[in-house]
Chains A and B, each alone.
Chain A
Amino acid sequence: MRGLAVFISDIRNCKSKEAEIKRINKELANIRSKFKGDKALDGYSKKKYVCKLLFIFLLGHDIDFGHMEAVNLLSSNRYTEKQIGYLFISVLVNSNSELIRLINNAIKNDLASRNPTFMGLALHCIASVGSREMAEAFAGEIPKVLVAGDTMDSVKQSAALCLLRLYRTSPDLVPMGDWTSRVVHLLNDQHLGVVTAATSLITTLAQKNPEEFKTSVSLAVSRLSRIVTSASTDLQDYTYYFVPAPWLSVKLLRLLQCYPPPDPAVRGRLTECLETILNKAQEPPKSKKVQHSNAKNAVLFEAISLIIHHDSEPNLLVRACNQLGQFLQHRETNLRYLALESMCTLASSEFSHEAVKTHIETVINALKTERDVSVRQRAVDLLYAMCDRSNAPQIVAEMLSYLETADYSIREEIVLKVAILAEKYAVDYTWYVDTILNLIRIAGDYVSEEVWYRVIQIVINRDDVQGYAAKTVFEALQAPACHENLVKVGGYILGEFGNLIAGDPRSSPLIQFNLLHSKFHLCSVPTRALLLSTYIKFVNLFPEVKPTIQDVLRSDSQLRNADVELQQRAVEYLRLSTVASTDILATVLEEMPPFPERESSILAKLKKKKGPSTVTDLEDTKRERSVDVNGGPEPAPASTSAMSTPSPSADLLGLGRPTARPHPPPGGGLLVDVFSDSASVVAPLAPGSEDNFARFVCKNNGVLFENQLLQIGLKSEFRQNLGRMFIFYGNKTSTQFLNFTPTLICSDDLQPNLNLQTKPVDPTVEGGAQVQQVVNIECVSDFTEAPVLNIQFRYGGTFQNVSVQLPITLNKFFQPTEMASQDFFQRWKQLSNPQQEVQNIFKAKHPMDTEVTKAKIIGFGSALLEEVDPNPANFVGAGIIHTKTTQIGCLLRLEPNLQAQMYRLTLRTTAGQCSARVLRLPAACAAVDLLRPLTPPAIRGKAAPRGTTSLCGCRGALSVALLVKEK
């Protein structure tokens, strides 16, 4: 095609970008006019122009025409035209459905043509476009082509890979059937090319249907065995630089990774293969070419992957580890990289963990000397993976020293890793505190909130380290320039535990205060807010500095600060310090209670950074080796709600839920709480409990909460407006719980509407024992929130505090009502007052399964009315909510929109104003999934009122301040 070559030369000769664009535009105009022109173009010209368009596309320009011409070409009978047409379509995939139909037509013809070349082109096009429409059209046809006896080998290869591609994108459209067993036997095919293509297909299919493809295991093993034992010339053209069929070997080894170790007979054979592969690695190379060693090692690494995957032959695992150890010092960077990477996975096997550890010096050396950051990154990963109690101090120290010079791109990750390792393997918590402070010193900018939150959580939960922490931060703050994160940690810790070092004249209260205040003006607003809280805590801890602090708070720069948050704090703290008696101050500004157990927020962060897959198992594999930092249980199943939502204010407890600053309570209720049982504090809701809670909206029995120590089970029954709930507390440990006190807490809004009566339980729960508590429930009037169950007890010297929402929701008092279609819509129309209706539209979180939805509506308590709604896809329900004071009729209509994956929920109730309240229920209810977006966040905040007040470490200060103002 001379015209094309001329055009390409023209472009290449353009002196400037502008000239090039000009030339291209000219050409585009020319092609457009040719395509639009009256004169029909011959195939050759069409081909030429389509090629030019392709070239222009490759240069990075958008091409928005020519598709029709391409379709014309691929429908041609001439091979070259067809080829170009297909090329254009597969490079410029267009989802234009009109076009796809035309293309599909041409493909159909080519598939039926029995011309292997044409069939190949058609299959290629299907694999390239791979859209659903194509899958719909051909997913049934291709398997037939694949297994037909008279199909040529080359077509079989294309068909296998094409089918694989369709299966990847639309597995539901590929029908399973007789052909699958015949596909498995392609592993025995004479033609190695066919085997190569088929193995990929089989692996993917076996992934989803392991049973159906089980026979592939022994076939794959024997094929592999034939390959690895063959002489290097046996396989002719499939031998690549003296390595027999490396691609096929890799694929077979990968197929075997879909299955557990096979039966003994096959297993012996496989072990032989793997040993042969390992042996070959030790033989002198048959060629000096890098291709030879690459291909050989590609197979070797895949074999090691399989060995790690099976994790059952200690002998092979250790050999693999030694082999990788050799590679760690290889002169090829690629091999060092891969060895570090593979060893990461080996480190998690119990058989090879120790063997991996022996290479620690080499890995540390790699960290220091590798010139390529991606290799250093692998070394960091491996150090993290091989870390355990025995080598943690060394590894943490090395990572810290590497951090000083580390590439900026990986610093944050290293910080997180160091923080996690330091916490996990700390025996001596002074070491932990030192490490984190070092971390802040070296890489303060990369220390995220999670890291410094965590050090504070740990210091607060461990009495033994508090004095040391106070002393250390005090010393660290002496540095003329310290990172703001250090000021935050220092401010917080001194505010809590400054008294522990105040005896020393070198760190007297005034000196502590002056030290902190000297940093104040250099800090950002959130840090200043935190420092103000520290100051008010000082007022309580050290009465002697009260006047100094009051002076600071009173100064214009605080009292009239342009920042509302700072100003408010200054005003309130000043007032608090002036008006409140020492007792009140001591109560309000009491030391923070221990933080409840939860997943380390740092780990959550790392998971977020690296994607969930990679971190979870670290947790699992290392759990046994880990220390419980807080001497307490592991957190309840990690839920996303445990992830931190960094808020602009220095918000330490806000790791789980949105904590609002406590606003003035409607009545004086909150205040009463603050004073009445000031010694105990309700823990924030346990992470994950919300999900559990939601599950109970539609059911009455089950496990409400579980951690490593405690299990809480529920059994409940409801009738009309009364109910009874049995709560079972199970001690999962072998040690007794002391001072076991479950408390039911109804918020002020809830109290008048819901009566709960129960008797206290025995304060001692023996190890392994279960105690039961009965709660009698009366629904007085409609309500929205759920009561909170707070449990406090001592376990092995540590104080445990768990709060969960008790699933008593309005819908429990629902009685289903059956009615006919006519009645339903008559009533529906009667309740047309806007007050009586609430509606919500939300996205489906889970597959929209009709049966599941039905079950949910029934579980919710209303009757499910079949054949009432003219649209069969909709769900309607009806019921009456019984309360002591009134009965509320309630009609419900749920309209799914499958296409948009949305639901619309409409509720109409007889008690106008309460519609909205009732609506929250289904919310909570199906909550589990469908209706979740409805759950008003406010419920959470209110349900645990005092859990939210710990913002800035100053419990209830605000409400007290307000009380004082009101006086």
Chain B
Amino acid sequence: MVGCAKREGRGKRGAWAAPAGVLGGRPRGEPLCLPSGPQRPPLPQLMRFMLLFSRQGKLRLQKWYLATSDKERKKMVRELMQVVLARKPKMCSFLEWRDLKVVYKRYASLYFCCAIEGQDNELITLELIHRYVELLDKYFGSVCELDIIFNFEKAYFILDEFLMGGDVQDTSKKSVLKAIEQADLLQEEDESPRSVLEEMGLA
């Protein structure tokens, strides 16, 4: 392959041949042709999970993009909440945690927390969080934690419209909201008004 010839020619030093170069550096620039080397190639961004939790450590939303056992999930959530809540304001929004990189941001009383892989782009993930918050804000009209508690299913729908399998599906605010609004319309058509008694299961 092309890359191989290149590598021979260049000697050992160039990043092309030994891309990550260094400890702690992210192994981003991996040439394709290395025979299944230990380094991870630059796969597109894939989020592992997203968590929303409150300052009191209450989980408000969780979305996992890689199959993880219940037990492991609980453990990770607990551990990560502890780490993030212990951080002071003004500290940087990224931290290495286990073999992942965690990007988090606090909006009022809520922490939004994404786990990405080491070589992924941190800043764009940070803005991904912001875009999600904007979407929530637009939909609920200056969103607050209570909105998310009482309408968690909506929060899920909006997230699903925006992200899929851990990757951005569409970054346009308009198209995401349009999709959600359409769904809401369908819902209204669906639902015939019900009496309170019916609602309580008494009718």
Contacts and interface: CB of A to CB of B under 8 A. Distances in A.
Interface string A1-31: 0110100100010000000000000000000
Contacts of A12: 149
Nearest to A34: B201
A617 B95 contact: no
Interface stretch (A194-202, A730-738, A931-939): A194-202
A780 interface: no
A701 interface: no
A309 B28 contact: yes
Nearest to B161: A120
Nearest to A86: B160
A385 B24 contact: yes
B22 A611 contact: no
Interface in A39-87: 44-45, 51, 54-55, 58-60, 62, 78-81, 83-84, 87
Given A83-B183, A334-B126, A200 B15 contact: no
A499 interface: no
Contacts of B127: 240, 246, 291, 294-295, 298
A54 B152 contact: yes
B108 interface: no
A162 B20 contact: no
A384 B67 CA distance: 36
B123 A349 contact: no
A444 B88 CA distance: 30
Given A341-B26, A384-B23, A200 B45 contact: yes
Contacts of A257: 28-29, 42
B99 interface: yes
B169 A157 contact: yes
B173 interface: yes
A254 B19 contact: no
Contact of B175 (A60, A154, A248): A154
Interface stretch (A124-132, A390-398, A470-478, A756-764): A124-132
A344 B43 contact: no
Contacts of B80: none
Interface in B111-149: 121-124, 126-128, 130-131, 149
Interface string B50-93: 00000000011111110100100010000000000000101111
Contacts of A164: 44, 165, 167
Interface string A202-228: 011001001100000000000000000
A103 to B, nearest CB: 15
Given A259-B32, A417-B23, A614-B23, A295 B123 contact: yes
A153 to B, nearest CB: 9
A537 interface: no
A346 B22 CA distance: 9
Contacts of A124: 160, 164
Interface in A347-391: 347-350, 371-372, 374-375, 377-378, 380-382, 384-385
A193 interface: yes
B60 A291 contact: no
A345 B94 contact: no
Contact of A197 (B99, B156, B170): B170
B45 A250 contact: yes
A374 B45 contact: no
The interface centre, meaning the residue of B21, B127, B160 with most chain A CB atoms within 10 A of its CB, is B21
B190 interface: yes
A237 B16 contact: no
A349 B21 contact: yes
Given A258-B42, A615-B23, A372 B91 contact: yes
A728 interface: no
A884 interface: no
Contacts of A385: 21-25
B22 A348 contact: yes
Nearest to A203: B44
The interface centre, meaning the residue of A84, A193, A342 with most chain B CB atoms within 10 A of its CB, is A193
Interface string A616-633: 111011011000000000
Given A79-B186, A87-B157, A344-B21, A612 B38 contact: yes
A357 B5 CA distance: 30
Contact of A349 (B14, B67, B182, B201): B14
A920 interface: no
Nearest to A126: B165
B160 A8 contact: no
A618 B45 contact: no
B100 interface: no
B61 to A, nearest CB: 7
Contacts of B95: 374
A501 B130 CA distance: 68
Given A84-B153, A196-B171, A240-B171, A613 B27 contact: yes
A247 interface: yes
A310 interface: yes
A87 B156 contact: yes
A91 interface: yes
B37 to A, nearest CB: 8
Contacts of A8: 149-150
A305 B17 CA distance: 14
Given A58-B59, A334-B126, A250 B121 contact: yes
A844 interface: no
Given A84-B153, A381-B24, A615-B23, A251 B92 contact: no
Given A8-B149, A345-B28, A617-B22, A301 B164 contact: no
A258 B28 CA distance: 10
Given A302-B124, A350-B13, 15 more contacts: A12-B149, A123-B164, A129-B67, A192-B172, A193-B170, A200-B45, A260-B6, A299-B124, A334-B92, A341-B24, A374-B94, A384-B24, A618-B21, A620-B17, A621-B21
Interface of B: 1-3, 6, 10, 12-32, 37-46, 59-65, 67, 70, 74, 88, 90-96, 99, 121-124, 126-128, 130-131, 149-150, 152-153, 156-157, 160, 164-175, 179, 182-183, 186-187, 190-191, 194, 196, 199-201
Identify the 6 closest CB pairs spanning chains A and B, nearest first. Answer: A348-B21, A309-B29, A381-B24, A344-B25, A385-B22, A165-B165
21 contacts: A44-B191, A55-B152, A59-B59, A157-B169, A165-B166, A193-B169, A196-B169, A197-B168, A197-B170, A200-B45, A210-B32, A211-B1, A247-B128, A257-B42, A260-B6, A309-B31, A334-B122, A344-B21, A349-B13, A614-B27, A621-B12
Interface of A: 2-3, 5, 8, 12, 44-45, 51, 54-55, 58-60, 62, 78-81, 83-84, 87, 90-91, 93, 117, 120, 123-124, 127-131, 154, 157-158, 161-162, 164-165, 168, 192-193, 196-197, 199-200, 203-204, 207, 210-211, 236-238, 240, 245-248, 250-251, 254-255, 257-260, 291, 294-295, 297-299, 301-302, 305-306, 308-312, 333-334, 336-338, 341-342, 344-350, 371-372, 374-375, 377-378, 380-382, 384-385, 417, 606, 610-618, 620-621, 623-624
